[in-house]
Structure 1
Amino acid sequence: MNLPILLAILCLTAIASCNDRFSVRKRLIVGGDKIDIGKVPYQVIVQLGDMVVCGGSMIAPSWILLASHCLWDIRGYEHLLEIRAGSKNRLHGGEVRTVKWSTLHPKYDRVHLHHDIALLFLNHPMVFGDNVKCIRIPPQDYMPRAMDDGFVAGWGLTNADHDRTKASNYPKELLGVKLPVLGFKTCNRWYNNYTLYQDTQFCAGYPEGKRDACVGDSGGPYVVGRQQVGIVSWGLSCAKPRQPGVFTDVGMYRNWIETTMQ
């Protein structure tokens, strides 16, 4: 392993071992099932060496949508990232690309994880096929409705107690879980000591917990029907009662996405 990659991985593992105010949802699907990539052909994994950094979605052949917090602590090392698409195995198969440049939302707030959205521009476009396709994003100002059924997938830890700094603890096969959108008032009441932004965030999960996209696959897509309405952002714990996942509302950022891609 060359020195730049080693330094970047050391940076990632140091960050992962710290106790943050939020559980930034990197690398965990709880209560999910194994799925084939053909069910979610837009899904990608972002890795640094064999370390899972985040999930993401393909919104155009050369563009990956994900969360700003995925990239904040590895700024300057983005060119070392590998993006794999078209495979349910995070280590083999499909198509692999590197990153030419990245952009975080200019108003990203790393304290409150507000405007937690970013884009990666690939060095070479993906070649579309049955297992490699882009996902649609909703029109500007679209907001998902309470009780909409959404779907999240990822290669994250299946147990929050596992050491997240060890690459061997991450499953090789893709997992997915269904999560319903929760009403904002309910979510805000459960998170009364934390700041939620009704205009740019929403919550999804079950009151009883048990199933979640937690500590995990941050940056991954939350899909309702045939469009990506959310990005996995943060939460307090993993699949616990009354602690649902918080998602960036993609519809509030369509104008920014389109402007950035021009």
Structure 2
Amino acid sequence: MAKHRRRDRRFRFALAAVIAAAASVPVVAAAMPSTSARPDIVGGTEASVRDYPYAVFLTDKSGNQFCGGVIVSPTAVATAAHCAKAVARTDLRVVAGRQDKRTNDGKVVSVRDVWIPSSFSDPGKGDDVAVLKLSQSLPYRTVNLPGDDSLYAEGTKATVLGWGRTADGGARSDVLRSAVVPVVSDDGCRSSYSNYDSRSMVCAGYPQGEIDACQGDSGGPLVVGDTLIGIVSWGDGCARPGKPGVYTRVITYADEIRSEADPSRRVFW
């Protein structure tokens, strides 16, 4: 249980920063976006939104970035459930087509509705996925959703994207960055986390750590090529040896994501 509380702190800290900023309370530098470009994802390099046009970030109504997301249809973005619940829907904004957060590039849209599985309660218990239904269409290429389990094979090289922190307590990046991490087997992930659920979760990372998603990357995409296999969810710290990042296993929710993103695809019995 002590380990679970430590993992919880990873996503709650991002929420605390948003709440404090919205209330105009001074926040230490570690809780706010940095004023100069730094790496985000631990061990990552700068990436281009031209290569990953479906990568987006989430802000509150004051423009404070706190999570990531991924475009799954012109009018819908997938993210983590804990990100969707962090800010009131009316205050939630999706920023697309903006590589550098210091610019006004791209498009900012509000959210008209949110889908979250009724079973979600905590990232450590799974079902950490949400679909944000947008008030306007986005003119950017969408990500592909997986059709089978083949991309979840152990050792598959996947790319995680985000604007999050460099390390636990570090500053966030002003620019989109990426890192390549291998998919970890279910047995390997279960040996790192006793609450690992192979139905709703997938792990990715190196045994020695060093490269990983971090706070502020939650909700962002883990892709193989242009296919979304994971959504940044939780972990024990960032880039620690023997503690890979844990992602929502997208294939489990692919049909629901498609249905919520495009109601015309729904099948009624």
- For 1:10, what is the secondary structure of its paired residue? helix
- Structure 2 residue 115 is matched with structure 1 residue 100: no
Name the Cα RMSD after superposition.
2.5
Match of 1:158 in 2: 166
Residue pair 2:114, 2:132 contacting (<8 A) in 1 also: yes
Deviation readout 1:42-64 (Å, 9 max, x if unpaired): 10010112322210000111100
Q: 2 CA distance for matches of 1:12 and 1:68?
A: 21
- For 2:111, what is the secondary structure of its paired residue? strand
Q: 2 CA distance for matches of 1:111 and 1:144?
A: 20
TM-superposed CA distance for 1:96, in Å, is: 1.3
TM-superposed CA distance for 1:222, in Å, is: 0.5
Q: 2 CA distance for matches of 1:116 and 1:54?
A: 13
Instruction: Name the CA shift for 1:241/1:8 in 2 (closer, same or farther; >3 Å).
Output: closer
- Structure 2 residue 174 is matched with structure 1 residue 172: yes
Structure showing the higher helix proportion among its residues: 2
TM-score of the aligned structures, taking structure 2 as reference length: 0.79
Match of 1:145 in 2: 153
Residue pair 1:85, 1:94 contacting (<8 A) in 2 also: yes
How many positions carry a matched residue from both structures?
232
Task: Structure 1: state its 5+ residue gaps.
Answer: 1-6, 18-26, 163-168
Residue pair 1:142, 1:251 contacting (<8 A) in 2 also: no
Percent identity of paired positions between Structure 1 and Structure 2? 31
Match of 2:20 in 1: 10
Q: 1 CA distance for matches of 2:172 and 2:53?
A: 21
- Structure 2 residue 121 is matched with structure 1 residue 119: no
Instruction: Name the CA shift for 1:255/1:142 in 2 (closer, same or farther; >3 Å).
Output: farther
Residue pair 1:140, 1:255 contacting (<8 A) in 2 also: no
TM-score of the aligned structures, taking structure 1 as reference length: 0.81
Q: 1 CA distance for matches of 2:21 and 2:236?
A: 23
Deviation readout 1:1-40 (Å, 9 max, x if unpaired): xxxxxx97338899x99xxxxxxxxx95101101111111
Q: 1 CA distance for matches of 2:179 and 2:149?
A: 26
Task: Structure 2: state its 5+ residue gaps.
Answer: 1-16, 29-38, 264-269
Q: Write out aligned runs for 1:21-100 (5 A).
A: 29-48=41-60, 49-74=62-87, 77-92=88-103, 93-100=105-112
Q: 2 CA distance for matches of 1:46 and 1:144?
A: 27
